[in-house]
Amino acid sequence: MPNVDILALKGRAIPAFAPVNALKQGFRQEVAIETQNPAFNEGMVDVRSKGIAGDNHYFTPNNPPYFEKVPGAIEELYLREGVAMRLLDINAQIKEAGLELYLFDGWRPQAIQRHFHGVWFPNWLRQNRPEIPEENLMEEVERYWSPPSEGEASPSPHATGGATDLTLRYIDTKQPLYMGGIFDDLTENAHTDWFERSEPSSMSDMEAQANRRLLYWLMDAAGFSNNPTEWWHFSYGDQMWARLKQFPAAIYGGVSPHI
């Protein structure tokens, strides 16, 4: 596996938010799932058993911005086997640079999706963004938290085993690369292109811009698509992936860890 040109990727701008976000709209209602594809019944694996680093962010109380173990959280980081193999390929390419992927989340129980979509984030918005009218609240929620699965034709992305939340870290020190904001910062700071919208005004901004670019292009080269509202969210095989990559159908539907 050839090593990648880290500096070249850090110098390549991330696509602008607006057209990508517009393309994403309606993906769960409009993108079919190809149930006859051999990958549809692909199994899942806890990626840590494959040597991929990570801890489930929702399983510990040391998890800003929540600071509580989330009801329904699991310790494991399950993903489809094919997704795990792609992540391993990325790790092989960046190992010489002293880097590796670090996962916050993978397959997600619906209890977590319901908690954040229907309870935690709406309440947070009511408290911290009181200017948002109640009738517009769910529109803001769903910029960051997808609705729970709505039948076999409309699974939430993390219910498919194809979506993961991750970052990069140094192998030796275990320190994450600076991305300019915490995981699950549910504001525009989380938009993947946030640091592309103006010239960086500080060394911190320059570092965040370069590191977001690196993560984005590493994942893109491995076939993943990025949710433009979240620099950490990447998927392969689900409906969002199919829409953003402009494929005719998804190859992964909803799944349980024991498929």
Q: Which residues are annotated as a binding site for Zn(2+)?
A: 158, 165, 233
Binding site residue list: 158, 165, 233
Q: What tokens does 121 get?
A: 């984030």
| Chain center to CA of 183 | 10
Contact 135, 206 (CB under 8 A): no
Rounded Cα gap, residues 95 and 112, in angstroms: 33
Return the sign of the alpha-carbon dihedral for residues 230, 154, 109, 128.
positive
**Closest listed residue to residue 79, CA positions, set 39, 108, 115, 36:** 108
- Under DSSP, the state recorded for 26 is T
Q: What tokens does 76 get?
A: 């494991």
Rounded Cα gap, residues 231 and 148, in angstroms: 21
Using DSSP's 3-state secondary structure scheme, residue 234 falls into strand
Rounded Cα gap, residues 7 and 5, in angstroms: 6
Q: What residues are annotated to the active site?
A: 230
